[in-house]
Amino acid sequence: MNKVFMIGRLTKDPEQRVTASGTPVTSFTLAVNRKFSKDSDRQADFFNIVAWQKSAEFAYKYFKKGQQIAVVGRLENRSWEDKEGNKRISTEIIAEDFDFADSKKDTEEVQERTTEHINLDDSDVLPF
């Protein structure tokens, strides 16, 4: 059985692209805290998450840096040859389901921190 369950915070806003056949793909990185003992510092692992099709569109539209989300998925390995001919392997989590794990208040605070506010005073003139 290949099943992964995790809760973590997005390290940056998700990035979306479209395949040659028109399928949306969204990627993001999730920082997941490790269980820690009383004497040690908190540590995190960083996992690359990939979402496809409708899930990709949802993640790109609604997820923002700093939000805590829950992900259910599977581990998948990709292999390829780089420009120098070396074999490379990447392990990713393919998202099958996800949801918000923050409270509504926490989500609103993240959105406030990531939204730019533009204030124009009387001295600012727009050229159009």
Q: Do the bridges between strand 87-100 and strand 44-52 make them parallel or antiparallel, or are there none, so unpaired?
A: parallel
List the CATH code of the domain at 4-112: 2.40.50.140
pLDDT higher than 70, residue 123: no
What is the average pLDDT score of the chain?
85
Count of C-beta atoms within a 10 Å radius of residue 30: 24
Share of the chain above pLDDT 90, in %: 71
Regarding predicted confidence, which is higher, 117 or 5? Answer: 5
**pLDDT per position as a tens digit, 19-76:** 999 999 999 999 999 887 677 778 899 999 999 999 999 999 999 999 999 999 999 9
How many whole angstroms separate alpha carbon 33 and alpha carbon 8?
Answer: 7
pLDDT higher than 50, residue 101: yes
pLDDT at position 36 is 75
pTM for this one? 0.74
H helical segments located in 34-80: 53-62
pLDDT higher than 80, residue 110: no
How many whole angstroms separate alpha carbon 28 and alpha carbon 46?
Answer: 10
